[in-house]
Amino acid sequence: MNLPSMLRALATACALVSVPQSSAVAASAKSSETCHDLPVVILTAQSGAFPDPTCNQLRFPAEDCLKAAVVSRVHVVDHDDGSPNCLASPPTASYEAKTNYRGQTSLFFPKHQIGVKFHAPQSFVGLPEDKDFILNGPFLDCSLLRNHLAHWLFRGTGRYSARTKHVAMYFSTTPGSPPEYVGIYLLIEKVGYGPNRVGLATMNAQCRGDELSGGWAWHNDPASFGDFSPNVVIDQYQNEFGMGERPILAYPSGESTSQAMRDYFVDTSTGFLPQLYRFLWTNMTTPDGLETHLDLGSFADYILHTELSLNVDAYRRSTYFFKDRGQPINAGPVWDLNLAYGNGARRDFDDWIYPQYTYWKRLMCNYKLTSLVIQRWRHMRSDGQPWSDASILAFLDQSAQPIRQQLGKCSGDWRSNVAQCAAVDVETCSGSYESRVDDLKASVLKRARWMDAHITALYKKLDGRTCSFVGALPKYNCAANGDDDGCLREPEKYYNAVAFPAVRQPYKGPECGTQVDETTKNFPVAEANRPSIDYCWLSSGVKAIYPREKGVRDKSLTPFCGGYGDCAQGPGTKCQCKPGITLDPVSCERIDAEYTAVKRAKAMLQGFAEFDGANRATGSGLLPAVAGIAFIAVVLGATWKARQVTQRRRPELIVTHRPTVYGSIRMPRMV
């Protein structure tokens, strides 16, 4: 955590104890312009202003200054009696939350994506209780329906996918400023693993032995600053089927993992990913063993959903997996499908996407998975099922109707951010809103009908081109007997011969530590079983996707170990720091004025947090706020003094300020 992070954390703490809990939105005259049929969400900054492109981006490795957290007040107006939801109406629900801008390229869109994190699980605009939600602002999706459709389609398989709801959004980016209308948003549940979402077994440092088999969750994406990425062994198997990349840990949090947990994940003798990749290399001629590694039903549903979507990032980015305790790996949930269903580079793509990726095409050389994919598609597309033409069209019409009603009150261009309008990209969203919905319908049905015509062609003769040129291969993907080619002539007989697995249900078993042996419960906990931060897992963010002009991009920075060190691959390794610069010997973080101030601040902030907790118990809020202000003054003073000293005695390898361009604003940065 760097200095701005520490100060924001403190500001958050102060705001939480000093901001009145019953503050109301400033009254304004009710009018048709500020009354909506959609639920209304009003987000007002409390602890400080939301950042803009002039924010001070610190020298990398550092968090993105545009994603700085702000404590906000969130009001909801959502009447269940059918009456209009007006900006000036008393809120039907109010919350305090930590909020921040989200995204990579979308970070610079006029319509921001906003993360909302509550202190405790809350029901939000009718969605089930949890802490994390996202106010997604569709900007390039002219229909405002693509993510909404994508999650509905995946839930149609009986599996979890984020619940979604359209809302009219008002936003105050600066404390004290009136909220302004910013368009139609889509409230989305953030991918989560608690009981109201994926429902994984709790994974923590109390887990031992077989309990370490789950729950785990990870995804494929470039590692951003602060992500935890398992230090897997990049061997021939990982290179071939894991794309030579390290996964990003989604659950549990990296800070909560112990050395024993981390070693279990990456050790080639216990880790489920190394074992899966070895199976795919060496056991393709014994195909029935694949279901001990993968939940084949979930992979069938995921492949079909991905192929139908024509998602630009299909199979390579925002690709999530999880593994529950004692169960095989599941694919999903799906995520980030605004550039899908005819919106993006694959708009007119008439082929299967999966053969572009070695891992996925290898999987489709397994007869059982291929049979399940064909069988499941036939079932999901049949009359009355969620993926039939009629069901898809009915869902889109039903979902578009409240948006149509609101846009009917729009007094300007429907694409603008004028009251009641959509606030989408004017350049790409040509025509009327109705034409954009019709285009979405046509794109989905066109792809679905192409898949109808080509689904049984997934049965095929196999070779290195279709399956990867490693290991022994069956001749066909028809049956357990790899020489059987009957599926090419009678596909229905073969795909109906494989039973579709039951859809996995949320974990209901015992949690770790509930059955501790009486003889050992009072023994000291071994160091390997204590939660700890592994700097070989903690990303410096240098591989994340950033606009070229943004921040400091020292080409010599390393992906992990604070940006100034490296680790051997596999379990139990430690950071080896680069010579020549003063670095922390454990994390390899660069020691300078900011680092020194942060180290002091951490101890003070911890003490303040404990003190604040005690005051909350007694109902006192003033003293923590005063203490917080004093703390800020102390840290700023210490930081200023340290930087003055640093400027007088600057180490030889510490480079100086020079101008850079962040967005369209010129500003100084350190490299």
Concatenated DSSP letters of 321-333: EEE-TTS-EEE--
Q: Which amino acid is at 512?
A: C
Closest CA to 668 of 62, 104, 55: 55
DSSP 570: S
Residue 517: predicted pLDDT: 57
- Which parts of 190-275 are beta strand (E)? 216-220, 248-251
Segment 101-117 shows an average pLDDT of 92
Round the average pLDDT of the chain to a whole number and report it.
Answer: 87
Predicted confidence at residue 262, as pLDDT, reads 98
Tell me the three state secondary structure of residue 96: strand
Q: Which residues contact 616 (CB under 8 A, 6 or more apart)?
A: 17
Tell me how far apart the alpha carbons of residues 588 and 484 are, in angstroms, rounded to a whole number: 57
Phi, psi dihedral angles at 449 (to 5 degrees): -75, -30
* Helix/strand/coil for 560: strand
Strands ordered across the beta sheet of 319-323: 248-251, 216-220, 319-323, 329-331
DSSP assignment letter at 409: T
The DSSP line for 379-407 is HHTSTTSTTSHHHHHHHHHHHHHHHHHHH
Which residues are 539's β-sheet partners? 560
**245 contacts: CB under 8 Å, gap ≥ 6:** 220
| pLDDT tens for each residue of 388-429 | 999 999 999 999 999 999 999 999 999 999 999 999 999 999
Q: Which of 3-17, 193-207, 433-447, 454-468 has the lowest mean pLDDT?
A: 3-17
* Average pLDDT, integer, range 440-468: 98
pTM of the model: 0.86
Task: Report the distance separating Cα 269 and Cα 282, nearest Å.
Answer: 15
Q: Helices 146-155 and 389-407, interaxial angle, to 10°?
A: 140
Q: Which is it for the CA torsion 81, 86, 91, 93, positive or negative?
A: positive
How far is the C-alpha of 367 from the C-alpha of 363, rounded, in Å? 9
Name the pLDDT band for 77 (thresholds 50, 70, 90). Answer: very high
Whose tokens are 């809350």? That residue is 122
**Residues in contact with 130: Cβ distance below 8 Å, sequence separation at least 6, in sequence order:** 121, 122, 124, 189, 190, 192, 194, 196, 197
How high is the pLDDT of residue 383? Answer: 97
Asked if 532 contacts 525 with a C-beta cutoff of 8 angstroms, the reply is no
The DSSP output letter for 642 is H
| Residues linked to residue 130 through DSSP beta bridges, in sequence order | 122
Write the pLDDT tens digit of every residue in 577-606: 999 889 999 999 998 766 666 666 666 655
Query: Exposed/middle/buried for 192, CB within 10 Å: 0-12, 13-18, 19+?
Result: buried
Q: How far apart are CA 314 and CA 217, in angstroms?
A: 18
Concatenated DSSP letters for 262-329? HHHHH-TTT-HHHHHHHHHHH-TTSGGGGGGTB-HHHHHHHHHHHHHHT-TTTTTSSEEEEE-TTS-E
Residues 6+ apart with CB under 8 A from 141: 147, 338, 339, 343, 424
| Res 496: pLDDT | 98
* Count of C-beta atoms within a 10 Å radius of residue 412: 11
Structure tokens at 645: 């000293």
pLDDT, one tens digit per residue, over 518-557 is 555 667 889 999 999 999 999 999 876 554 444 455 678 9
Let me know: does 123 contact 189? Beta carbons within 8 Å.
no
Decide: 436 and 142 in contact? Cβ < 8 Å. Answer: yes
In the structure, what pLDDT confidence band is assigned to residue 60 with cuts at 50, 70 and 90? confident
Structure tokens at 444: 């989905």
Q: Which of 316-330, 476-490, 514-528, 559-573 has the lowest mean pLDDT?
A: 514-528
Residue 40 and residue 135: Cα distance in Å, rounded? 12
Contact 602, 596 (CB under 8 A): no
- Structure token pair of residue 358: 């070695």
Looking at the predicted structure, is the pLDDT value of residue 645 above 50?
Answer: no
CB atoms within 10 A of CB 286: 13
Q: What is the pLDDT of residue 608?
A: 53
Name residue 538's beta-bridge partners.
Answer: 228
Mean pLDDT of all residues in 44-69: 91
Given this model, what pLDDT does residue 18 score?
40
Please report which confidence band the pLDDT of residue 7 belongs to, taking 50, 70 and 90 as the band edges: very low
pLDDT-derived band at 651, boundaries 50, 70, 90: very low
Residue 185's pLDDT band, with cuts at 50, 70 and 90, is very high
- Helix (H) and strand (E) counts in the chain: 14, 17
